[in-house]
Amino acid sequence: MKPLEFLEPETLEEACSLIAKHKDEARLISSGQSLIPMLQQRLITPAYLISIRNLPGLDYIKESADGLRIGALATQRSVEMSEVVRRKLPLLAEAVHAVGTVQIRNWGTIGGSLAEADPTGDPPPALLALGARVKAKSIRGEREIPLSEFFVDYLQSSLEPDEILTEIIVPYPPPKTGGAYIKDVVRAGDTGIVTVAALVTLNGGRKVKEARIVLGCQSTTPLRALKAEKAAAGKRPGDSLDDVIAAAQADSDPAPDVLGSVEYKSYLAGIRTRDALRLAISRAIAS
């Protein structure tokens, strides 16, 4: 790695000023679990690292009228273990539990996992299924970005170069809603071969009123499985889900790598979508 300067602002306002000053020459760092490997592989070569790890006021989980608000510096472990997250957003708690190991979750932040826009990350599919949005701040002001518009391409988000992700807002799901997150890995703690986040809401007749299905590790960004969602609508417990499997396979768009071929990954995406949907339906019935 080439020499770089490490900056430690003491306030969010100071951090915004520094990133605005240095722009493309700077990168923000919180835990560094994604950033350090990118530096080592020379995927990025900034002149400045701006640490936001110890900025005050960005580590919280709190309820509000429009949803659960999570500060960008809340650790993945604190989100996983939060009583209110487990009660109000069990899908998110399940997805965060799938991140690496306890040691990784103790250090990694929820905001960092979003800002790096890694398509293999575990929280993004669940947060997309839940209809989350994020807040970003710069010296120009503050704005909200729906997560559906946040992921642009591989390791690219819609954050402007001078913006800092500060908060995630997750709406509360309606009654009779259930979710499930499934991750296929070679070994525990590894990057997923395929991940699926499914969220379903039932009508009074135990029929799927609405389904939101997001695939991870299947494209350059987390992928909303629109064909699978359409196929899932109207399903009842015990119905065949063969059309959902086929639709999810059509939705998937994986690249071949050491974890599997395109055909294998697409096949697995369909099977795990079926499994996640069945589990989500059973949890919605029990809610």
DSSP 11: S
Q: What is the pLDDT of residue 2?
A: 62
What secondary structure does DSSP assign to 189-212, as a single string?
A: TSPPSEEEEEEEEE-TTS-EEEEE
Structure confidence by residue, pLDDT tens digits, 152-161: 999 899 999 9
Q: Which fold has domain 5-50?
A: 3.30.43
Domain boundaries, the chain: 5-50, 61-170, 177-286
Per residue in 200-242, pLDDT (tens digit) is 999 987 999 999 999 999 999 999 999 999 999 999 999 999 9
Q: Of how many residues is the chain composed?
A: 287
Q: What is the largest CA-CA distance in the chain?
A: 63
pLDDT of residue 1: 52
Average pLDDT over residues 151-174: 95
What pLDDT does 36 receive?
81
Topology of the domain covering 61-170: 3.30.465
CA distance 285 to 266: 29
| pLDDT at residue 24, as a whole number | 85
Per CATH, 5-50 and 177-286 having the same topology is answered no
User: What share of the chain has pLDDT > 90, as a percent?
Assistant: 85
Q: What is the CATH number of domain 177-286?
A: 3.30.390.50
Q: Which residue did the predictor score with more confidence, 196 or 45?
A: 196
| Cβ atoms within 10 Å of 133's Cβ, excluding its own | 19
Q: Which residues of 135-153 are buried (b: 16+ CB within 10 A; e: fewer)?
A: bbbbeeeeeebebeebbee
Q: What is the pTM of this model?
A: 0.94
